[in-house]
Structure 1
């Protein structure tokens, strides 16, 4: 298996694990659902990553 394929598979595995973690509790699932609904309703706000930690 080439390094590129291994890298791609590792990234895929990490994404799956992150998704499983985010959906692992009812509270997280509920918050994510609410956030998605707000975004779909046009209530999202673009922010810069550097502004999060100010």
Structure 2
């Protein structure tokens, strides 16, 4: 599971792809890794506070 794309994340991806000319494979890998970690952090946050997880 991952969180959805945010406007700042989309801006960062576009800037990295078109302005800075980084390798597309690395950029998409980083984005996927980051969103997956954010999802895990969100679940951990709710779990610690006793909220039911979906």
* Alignment TM-score, normalising by the size of structure 2: 0.47
Larger Rg: 1
| Greater RCO, 1 or 2 (C-alpha within 8 Å, sep 6+) | 2
* Alignment TM-score, normalising by the size of structure 1: 0.47
